[in-house]
Structure 1
Amino acid sequence: MRENSVINLHASDLRTFIPSRDFVLSRDFYSALGCELEWSDDNLALFNLAGSRFYLQRYYVKEWAENSMLHISVQDAANCFTDITGLIESGRFPSVRVAPPKRESYGALVTYVWDPSGVLLHLTQWDEG
């Protein structure tokens, strides 16, 4: 193989794996956020959100979970903050945290959410223009 050649994987999909400290709680959390559960067994769940998929797994390493992030483009970051605050106040997900929307220098308003395992979600509303 030549040094400068590029392999064409003919890829059709890319999915990440998300850890969970409490698999059932995390599965319920992502369902509450509107992620569609497509398939699940005792150790793995496949979710679909806006045509993108990710796996939630029954596996947890604190350092990995707290360094994992999902970037999700949303229409209204402020509304997401309000809705998730209400979800937290319901008591269903006591370890979930949410921060008020923050204007970021790269041209977006972002609501940060920490899932039940500490995975950081960036709910990003892109600026017009």
Structure 2
Amino acid sequence: MIHPAKSIRTFIGAKDYAESIRFYEILGFNVRAVSPNMSLVTVKENIAFYLQDAYLKPWCENSMIFLEIEDDLESYWEAIKVLGLPDKFPGTKLSAIQHSDWGNEFFLHDPAGVLWHFGNFK
């Protein structure tokens, strides 16, 4: 079967909804409310996810999103590092770039514990 799909979006939770909205806005994502307890967070056209005012610790801390970066991962990491997210949002963590045989990536935990993988493939 051929699927007439345009995009795919995941849903993630927020421990503190307002804090998570600020986190993603500082990260440079566009956040637009679609209801009182849910926002559409757009990274780039057709790259988006839903942020919900809902929190279940096991769900959030086991959610992972991989965002493939087109070009220079090092420059992107530097741009995120200077934002100082771990200083502004308790519980957030930013790792160094990890180099693997398949490619490179770094990790960023959001305020609810959602683990972001930012990387590129060789």
Partner residue of 1:57? 52
Q: CA deviation at 1:80?
A: 3.0
- Alpha-carbon separation, structure 1, partners of 2:85 and 2:107: 17
Unaligned runs of 5+ in 1: 1-5
SS state of the match for residue 28, structure 2? coil
Larger Cα Rg: Structure 1 or Structure 2? 1
- Alignment of 1:84 onto 2:59: no
Partner residue of 1:113? 108
RMSD: 2.0
Q: Percent identity among equivalent residues? A: 29
Task: Give the total of aligned pairs.
Answer: 120
Answer whether contact 2:27 2:83 (CA < 8 A) is retained. Answer: no
Partner residue of 1:3? none
Q: 1:76 to 1:96 in 2, by over 3 A?
A: farther
Q: 1:12 to 1:89 in 2, by over 3 A?
A: closer
AA matched with 1:20: A
Q: 1:113 to 1:90 in 2, by over 3 A?
A: closer
2:117 alignment partner, one of 112, 115, 122: 122
Q: CA deviation at 1:79?
A: 2.5
TM-score, normalization: structure 1? 0.80
TM-score, normalization: structure 2? 0.84
